[in-house]
Amino acid sequence: MDKIETLGRIAELEAQIKTATKERDELRVASVANGWATWSYTVRMSAPSLAWWKENRPTVWKKYAKETSVKKFTLV
């Protein structure tokens, strides 16, 4: 493959991915609406990297940790 073929194939794959993602999202919405699936939410703690903690503030990580909500598609 040369440069033009490779870049063309990348563009083609990206278009397929966008189309498939859109279809997947629509199907997920329909599944939830029909009661076949649910959205479950979990809380995840995130903070600076462990290397930063070990170097700067190893004893106060809870002060800088923050909660983030994670949305997960779950089949019923």
- Encode pLDDT of 37-60 as tens digits: 999 988 887 777 778 877 887 777
- pLDDT value of position 62: 66
23 & 49 share domain: no
41 & 31 share domain: no
- pLDDT value of position 19: 97
d(CA 15, CA 21): 10
pTM of the entire predicted model: 0.57
Query: Each residue of 18-28: pLDDT tens digit?
Result: 999 999 999 99
41 & 72 share domain: yes
Between residues 8 and 43, which one has the greater pLDDT?
8
76 & 43 share domain: yes
Q: Tokens 């190893």 identify what position?
A: 58
- pLDDT value of position 29: 95
Q: Which residues contact 28 (CB under 8 A, 6 or more apart)?
A: 37, 73
41 & 75 share domain: yes
Q: Name the amino acid, one letter, at 34.
A: N
14 & 47 share domain: no
Q: How many domains does the chain have?
A: 2
- Domain ranges, residue 25: 1-35
Residue 4: exposed, middle, or buried by beta-carbon count in 10 A (0-12, 13-18, 19+)? exposed
Structure tokens at 21: 């993602």
